[in-house]
Amino acid sequence: MATTFKDKVVIITGASNGVGAATAALFAEQGAKIAAFDIRDPPAATSDSKIEIKCDVSKEDEVNTAVKQVVDKWGTIDVLCNVAGIADQFQRLTDTTNDALNTIMGVNFFGPFYLMKAVIPHFLAKPGEVQGEGYMTQLPKKGAIVNVCSVAAVRGAAAGAAYTSSKHALLGLSRNTAWMYHRDGVRCNVVVPGGILTNIMGNSGGGARGEHLDPVGRAILQGPQSVIPAVTMPADTANAIVFLAGADSVNGAEVSIDHGWTVA
Q: Enumerate binding residues for ligand NAD (CB under 6 A).
A: 13-14, 16-20, 38-40, 55-58, 83-86, 107, 148, 150, 193, 195-196, 198-200, 203, 234
Return the number of the residue (37 or 181) whose C-beta is nearest ligand NAD. Answer: 37
Order across the sheet with 254-257: list the strands. Answer: 50-54, 33-38, 9-13, 79-82, 143-148, 186-193, 254-257
Tell me how far, at minimum, the Cβ of 159 lies from ligand NAD, in Å.
8
Return the number of the residue (111 or 185) whose C-beta is nearest ligand NAD. Answer: 111
Alpha-carbon distance of 171 to 164, in angstroms, equals 11
Return the number of the residue (20 or 143) whose C-beta is nearest ligand NAD. Answer: 20
Tell me how far, at minimum, the Cβ of 59 lies from ligand NAD, in Å.
8
Tell me how far, at minimum, the Cβ of 149 lies from ligand NAD, in Å.
7
Alpha-carbon distance of 114 to 172, in angstroms, equals 15
- Report the chain's C-alpha Rg in angstroms: 18
Angle at 264 between CA 214 and CA 242, to 5 degrees: 85
The CA–CA distances, whole Å, from 170 to 33, 152, 194, 251 equal 26, 11, 16, 15
Alpha-carbon distance of 117 to 201, in angstroms, equals 28
Return the number of the residue (3 or 102) whose C-beta is nearest ligand NAD. Answer: 102
Tell me how far, at minimum, the Cβ of 93 lies from ligand NAD, in Å.
19
Alpha-carbon distance of 173 to 240, in angstroms, equals 20
Return the number of the residue (107 or 162) whose C-beta is nearest ligand NAD. Answer: 107
Tell me how far, at minimum, the Cβ of 141 lies from ligand NAD, in Å.
26
Q: Cβ neighbours of residue 76 under 8 Å, at least 6 residues apart?
A: 9, 122, 126
